[in-house]
Structure formats: C-alpha cells, structure tokens
Structure 1
Amino acid sequence: MAETKKYVRVKNASVDGVWYEDKIGQIFEVVHENSIALLTKYIAVLREDAEIIVTEKRPAKVGERVLITVAAPIGKQAYETGDIFVAESLYDPFTKDIRVLGMPDFIDYNEYEVIVNNEVKNEEADEMKIDLNAMEYDELIAHGEDVMRAIRLRAYGEGYRQGKFDAEMDTSHGQAPIVSAQARRDEIVEQAKADVEDLFKRDIGYRHDFIVNSEKRTVVALRKSFGEGYVREKGIAKAAPDDCFNVHIGKAIALRRALGLAVPDEYLNAPQPTEFRVGDVVQYSKRCATVVAGRPNGFGETKLTTANGLAARIIDDSREEVIGE
C-alpha cells in the first residue's frame, strides 16, 4: 500500500500577527492535527486558514494531479515546492519519473507525490458539535490540550508573538545564554561534513558525485557503479526560499536520500546564520555581495542591517573557496 501523507497549504492569515502570515502559499507536512489547527514541524495553522492536501507516494498515472514536495527543476523549467501539475505520461517506468503538462522536461520521482484528495477547509470539523459532558476523562484531557494550543495560536494576534525564537536567551537577569543560533549552525555544518565522509567510507564499491547549483540552491548526489559508471541512485536537496543555502548540509541530505537513509532533523531545520563570516554571500534588497575581510565586499556595514535600514541576510554560507574551510 502506498504511503499516505497530509500537507497544509497556507491560504490566509485570519489573525493579525499570526506567525505564518509571511508563509502564504507555502506547503508544510502535517505531523498532528486537531479540530482547530494543523500542526507541522515549523508552524501550526488554523483550519480556517488552510488548504489540506492528501497525497500518496507512488508513480503517477496519466491524468492524475501531482504535488511538488521537493522542487529541483532542470534546464529551463521553472517550478517550486507546492506547485501542482497534471501527469501527462510516465517518462521512465524504471525511475518512475514523469512528464507533466506545461513543463518541457521530466519531473523526478523524488520531487512529487500523487494527490488523492484536497480541500480548502475541513467541513466535517466545521460542523462538529462537541459535547464535553459525553467525553471520557482521557478524551477531555486530550481535548483540553488541543484547546490550549489553539489559545496560544490565537494569542499571537493579541500581541504575543512566538514566531521563531531568538536562539540567545535574554541575559538581562544574569542568565547565561545556552548555545547561539550561529554556534549551533556551525556544529551542524561540521556534522554534515563528517557525515558525508563517513558515508563515503561505508558505501564501498560505489562512486559518489555531487552536482551543485548555488543559484538554484540545489545539490544532487549521484551514486554510481565504479565499473560502468552508471547512476544507480540519485538524491536531491534544495534549500527553502527563506533558508540560507549551505552546500555541506545539502550534500549530506542529498547523499542520504540517494542511499535511502533517514535525514536527521537538524539538517532540515538548521538555525539560520546570524553572523557575517568571510566568504558568506549576503543579499541587500536585490543586491548581493560576498563578505571579504569581515564585511560585505563594497559595503561598510558588518551587521545584518544596512545604513539605510534595509534588511540584509546571509543567503549562502558554504564558504567553499575560503582557505581552511
């Protein structure tokens, strides 16, 4: 039986200040749900703001709709995670790649899942009548936890914004910070480098090549036989639009996918960098610059804000060409 998953697409932000108001249109895999909200690894979305998409991981049949869950377009194709297409033909029965309407080239099997149902809101939940008196004790406790989650979510609109935590604790009361976001990211990058080297040693008898596209923020891992040089397996990693691209984390994710291994959660949810380092690529509005000698090349600012107040962010901290990296 095909694996079934459920995704939520953020369609609206009905509460002012809710922390997914800048995620409109994006999709997230649902890990838990209740009558009020859908919970993901990243955000909780109120049902009234959600489109629910149910998928199966299997080869698509002609005419079926597919959801792009890990976008890695090639050539002149242009599509993103969350896009939906109609399967036109099975491009390769062995690899399970497909062609879709509107795209000149194939879609890799690792990029899509077949949509079996989707709805803008859960009508059954809207019509549900809750009788607290009829609930068993355990049910009442579970329902209370769901209600408390919803209250916390609603509270964002009243001025309590949880959002993404600042990784450093407030030291105003003399509390020492735990581990900064930057320090934790540095640890994860080193872990990814070591992981790739270890997987190379363990996967004896195969060659491993990487195709890195920094502009598209993708890494493809190819597992090839030594003798013939045929590609046996392929894994793809792609940074989310709001995430900083790091080639070392990308290689670890792509290689693990090529080998059919689980991807550690810390690779998928690494904290974003907070400090400029030599070799980082920084974006100022629509301009990009590489950090040189402690500051972005051509700019005098060393913080994540420019002199005129425009936000700047690190979009690539791979630093592969920096000596010592």
Structure 2
Amino acid sequence: MAETKKYARIKKASVDGVWYADKIGNVYEVDRENCVSILTKRGIRGLSSVLREDAELIVTEKRPAKVGERVLITAAYAYTGCPYKNGDINNVKTADKHGHVLVEEHSVSLLRREYEVIVNNEVKNEEADGMKIDLNAMGDRELYAHGEAVMEAIKKRMFQAGFRAAKQAQRKLAGMNSKKTPQARRDEIVEQAKTDVEELSNYGDGVRYETGTGSFATCNVEFVVNRDKRTVVALLKGVRTGDVYAKGIAKAAPDDCFNVRIGKAIALRRALGLAVPDEYLNAPQPTEVRVGDVVYGKYSEAYYQLWCEDEIGDVSYEVKIKEIVDGKYRYVGGGYDFIDDADLTIIDDSREGVVGE
C-alpha cells in the first residue's frame, strides 16, 4: 500500500502578524491536525500551527504517477534555471515504467523521487469536516498535542478578534474626527498639547535628563515665548547648576495661527528628544473668533476715506478681541468692528489669561 502524507498550502493569513503572513502559496508537511488548526513541519524551526481556515489540505501518495494525475513537487533538484520548485502542482501528460514523468507546465522531466501523487486537495476536506475528536480515546501524548494546538488556535482567534475590534474602533474614531469641524478638532489638539506639557514636565516638579556622559541631571523646564517671531523655546536647565542641558524650538509657519500651548508641546518634545505628533504640526486653522484672540483685519478703502483725512496708507490692523457683544467685536484698547462687515484672520488663538482657557 502506498505511503500517504498530508500537506498544508497557505491560502491566506486571516490574522495579521502570524508567522505565515508572508508565505502565501508555500506548502508544509502536516504533522497532526484537529478541527481548529493544523500543525506543520517547518524544518529546523520545528512545528508551527496554521489555522485550518487559512490553509488548503493536500493529501498525497508516494508512488509512480499515471497519465492525467496531478503531482506535488516535494523534493525538487535545486539547480540554476530549474523551471519548478517545491510546492508546485503539475499535471502529468506522459509517464515511463520507472515513474519518471513529463508534465504540461514545462518540458523538463520529473524524476520519481521529486514528486508525490495528489489523491485529494479539496479546500474543504470532507474527512476533516466530519472529524470528531474523542478525547477519552487518546493517549497522553496525543491529548497533550491536541491541547497545545487548540490553545494556540484560541490565542490566535482571540488576537484576531482583538485586532478586528481595534481596527473597527480606529475606523469609528477616524469617522468621528472627519465629521468634526476644523475648530472643534483644533480645540481638542490644543487641550491635548496642554496636557502633554503638564505630564512631560512632571507638573512643574522637574524632569530627569541624560547629560550625555552617562549621568542624569534634574532639570526645570523653562519656556521663552516670542510672539513677534512666533516662536517658543523650551529650555532644560539644571536645578543645581543652572546650566542649559538641552533646548527645543517651535516656530509657526507664516500662514499658520500661532498657539502657545501647541508651541510649548512641540518645543518640549524636541528638547527631550521625543517624536512630535503629526496633529501638532498640522493642526487645522481656527475658524471662530473668540475673546482673547489676536486678529488681523483690513479697513475697506471707503471706510478709510470717510474717517481719515490723510492719504490712504496701510489699511491693515492687528488687535486683540476684548469682548463680543451686541453684534460687534470690541477690541482691547478701544474700537470695534461690526461682525457682518469685519473680515478678520485669527493669527494667535493662545488666549492666555482668558477665564476658562
């Protein structure tokens, strides 16, 4: 009676991160199996489990092939230019008495030792489908083997479920963010930056910084804000020495609205050598004028000519919003704009000192 073997061809990887994710199409000899998983032989790597749903089961016999049968290449000669490799399936068109065959896929003869005859490779193997495990009939070693396979399959299934749940939550969050207004998203990022600075600076109690000589220094975090240059500098200064051990700089782009909290988070992360989140660098621009905002505006030419006797010069102005009431923006230092007539650009929404900020 011909020797029978089973092989598993990898069809897919339904769970990210499994060992066979990059081995789609590869064929591995089966050591044992159950209704959940297949344990395969991976050469020097030992035994590795594959989820049954991810593999095609191939059953072979080690005997000479006949015309019309299909063969699985299991021991290919690895010479340069060989047109076949282990795992290939070929269709036999001629066969000699020694078991050497010619196949439809190429013109090179296959030796009997290079192949095994496929007797069943249904993706859904009937024998496996009808298989029931009788635990009481198993010996200790077989029972342990099945137990290991089942536990590995359960872990993979749990990982799969967790991964899918995380992906679903990520998609839901992305969908929620896409529905938020730019202003709402910016508000979230500003609040995130504020919390980030508090945590990274240890709530003002100082941070430990590696000086580069293998030792550490306890440092206070100091910020230098220059609104004219639209920059924030974070300094890590030794508590005992007063020396500056590191600094990080954040600078707003010319077309970006300046925000002190976002600037501090970027500068401090750079001083500490940490990555800067993309949302800090690409925060949406504000769209709602609020009390405490610094805005840039321009008088209309007609307004300027009506109220000013001098020749028209620079008709732009830069002011801070003191209050918004009665349909008007009132500015710090006096003056106001009608909301309907004002064309303002927010250039600084730090709003430091404003109650609730």
| Rg (Cα) greater in structure | 2
Q: Taking structure 2 as the reference length, what is the TM-score of the superposition?
A: 0.38
